[in-house]
Structure 1
Amino acid sequence: MRRLGFGAMHLPVDSARDQAIAVARRAVELGVTLIDTAHLYGGGANEELLASALYPYPDELVITTKVGVARTGPGGEWRLDARPSILREQVEQALRRLRVERIELLQLHRIDPETPLADQLGTLRELQVAGKVGRIGLSEVTVDELTRARELAEIVSVQNRYSVLDREHEPVLRVCAEAGIAFLPWRPVAPATASRELAGVAAELGATAAQVALAWLLARSPVILPIPGTGRIAHLEENVAAAEVRLSREQGERLDALVEGGTS
């Protein structure tokens, strides 16, 4: 699998739908082999958009979706809800919207603190045994949560917020690297413009700050698979080109030092 994925969250599903479809198709043309979506993104509208753009899917393409957030709050607002009935319903909806018989990678969007973890992972495991889910992943988890989850199911991916300037989840990345679990950082380039050092390295390489931020992630650990998102083709092409950016050891060390406690 190519180590630069695509986050579909920012694809518009209304007035700019044609543009969104063009972006999704261009991502595949550029060799992207993993696209990330979720039930939360438009209540499934994002999943439907990807199917409209890309079905029938290329053999090498994996579309991963996330479940466990639902409009079940007191006023119909979104909230964490990973009760077994909700998870099963959202998986069935995703299968229908994506037009597939199995979701190759299904991620729990967040761990629901009001539902026993064994019930959440147990439900996903049952769906896996039934052939409706290929592999199970998690999103926004701590080391302790990941450890407990791995006692209940085989976890193949973790999707946490992480970037060159945001390393709160460095301990989680370390566990993933040791266990061979794919680490999919979301919001991997958002803070790129906040660093003069980042801009300086970009100038040295003739690249953009966003490309340098992505190149740093790719060099950080072999288990990292960034999923930058955008609704514009030009930005998409810029992100994908980051795979060709190579940092020198000295440049990498300068970027490592941007966050206290960063290691080279």
Structure 2
Amino acid sequence: MTRQERTAWGFVLPVLAIILFVFALPTVLALALSVTDYSIYALADWHALRFVGLGNFADLLTTPLFWRALGNTALFALLGVPMAIGTSLAAALLLHDASVRWKPLWRVLLFAPYVTSVVATAVVWRFLLNTRFGLLNRALGWIGVPPIDWLGDPHASIPAILLFVTWKIFGYNMIVFTAALSAVPHDLMEAARLDGASRWTRFRHVTLPAIGPTLLLAAVMSVAGFLQIFAEPYVMTLGGPAQSTTTVLYFMFDEGFKWWNLGQASAVAFILFLMILALTVVQARIGRRYEWL
């Protein structure tokens, strides 16, 4: 190895060691626990630990609550990802406009929710969505809309949490898209404008292909984030009402730390890991198809 290669490995190896310890090792341990009946009894006595093979996975397939949680999580991702990316991209396009004043201030204000505590902001939103004295229902009352039980109605709970999550992660994608838009070649935009292309045509054929890799990154991160929703329903609805906001991660938490069925909780974690990995691979293939990678 050359001196330059040794130097490069010297910088890379500590990071790889951290990744191995923080990510790879827990993944392997979760897989190992998922094929056992590891529970609170095994915590006290390792001799109580038994190998059950794929028994935990088979039990999950016959657990209605797991399928309900899986459906809720899929619904969160299906509705939330387009909402989060669409609003963030729209805001980035508005802030990229040269006519907008005080751009740094708007960026700071819109990015601030992302760096605040999830639990703290969820508690605030729980009061904002309160049926009796919440500000949202008061605002709706001014236009003649009756109060909505946002966190107590199964039909309104998912939209309420989606609204909160979109607001929470909105700023991160917006900043990423703003940086990507700044890198779009100005000469291409000017040439399209001189050729008489409309704003939509310029966005469709110039801007969108240029920010394709960033759009793919935002999609991958957003899908992984929405599939791992936990703190929001835990703080705001406790998985209710009628289990309408119970997600896969919330179900895993209950199995592991409420019922101390750690083997089955590990099986849930590994299934979620496989879901995120599969969707990431699919998104990467789509990115290669459109030459975004």
Give the TM-score range, shorter chain. under 0.3
How does the TM-score come out when normalised to structure 1?
0.21
Return the structure number with greater relative CO, CA threshold 8 A, min gap 6.
Answer: 2
How does the TM-score come out when normalised to structure 2?
0.19
Q: Which one has a bigger Cα radius of gyration? A: 2
**Between structures 1 and 2, the one with greater strand share:** 1
